Amino acid sequence: MTKADIVENIYEKVGFSKKEATDVVESIFELLKGHLQQGEKVKISGFGNFIINAKRPRKGRNPQTGEEIIISGRRVLSFKPSPVLKKSINPGELS
């Protein structure tokens, strides 16, 4: 599934023009990216949370040469699926 397929689904479901559906889907992902770039946590109820974690610098090794290197500190994005999403992809499961 790509953005184009999402647009197609929205267009069929809500009946706005395809141009409008395309613009809105594009805007939704741009808005999400903008907030995440600011280091903000994004919570989409029923889907999941996008969380920014700060990683401290750590020692690593170049697996090819065995040379020890320092991996710099960085901010990374992780996704924590909502229980609702987990349930949707595991149908027929108790609890």
Residues of the shown chain interacting with another protein in the complex, contacts defined by CB under 8 A: 1-3, 5-6, 9-10, 13-14, 16, 20-21, 23-25, 27-29, 31-33, 35-37, 39-48, 50, 52, 74-81, 85-86, 88-91, 93
Nearer Cβ to another protein, position 34 or 61? 34
- Residue type at position 1: M
Nearer Cβ to another protein, position 17 or 65? 17
Helix (H, G, I), strand (E, B) or coil at 50: strand
Contact 32, 43 (CB under 8 A): no
